[in-house]
Amino acid sequence: MYQEGQIDKAVDSIYKTNSYVSSIPDQIKGVKNQLSSLTGLVGELHHISHVHTYDVGGTFVHVTYLLTYDRQPIRFEFQFFKVKSGWRVYAFSFDDNMDDEIEALARKAAIESNN
């Protein structure tokens, strides 16, 4: 849905797994507005890459994606927890502040490859 420009539907789809989210409609509207304005700032979406999934005991996962746009990449992060009926969203965030992390990982990989 997000790739097709249906931002509101994509956000609703993320949060529909957790009925407690209905108690914070202003925050959900804020996320929708931020994502909508993001498109105007970074341009067209070109690619979505799954970066990593971190599993905590089979009951909590943190999933990271990297989306590349005309202007720059943006990181999307999702956190889900398991309940009787399946998985519920715990948190969703996006940012472009990954420079330091990528630089540190690249340096670590370079050091490890030289050992």
Number of domains forming the structure of the chain: 1
Q: Which two tokens stand for residue 100?
A: 């330091």
Residue 2 lies in a domain: no
Q: Does residue 30 lie within any of the structural domains?
A: yes
Residue 1 lies in a domain: no
The CATH number that applies at residue 99 is 3.10.450.630
Other residues' Cβ atoms within 10 Å of the Cβ of residue 109: 10
Residue 78: name the closest of 57, 94, 99, 67 by CA: 94
Q: How many other CB atoms sit within 10 Å of the CB of residue 34?
A: 12
How crowded is the C-beta side of 109, counted as CA atoms within 13 Å?
6
Q: What is the DSSP letter of 44?
A: -
**Residue-level pLDDT at 87:** 92
pTM given for the model: 0.82
Mind listing the pLDDT tens digit of every residue in the chain (115 residues)?
Answer: 888 888 889 888 888 887 787 677 788 888 888 888 887 899 999 999 999 999 999 999 999 999 999 999 999 999 999 998 889 999 999 998 888 888 888 888 899 888 7
d(CA 115, CA 105): 16
Domain that holds residue 91: 7-114
d(CA 34, CA 80): 21
- Strand, coil or helix: 57: coil
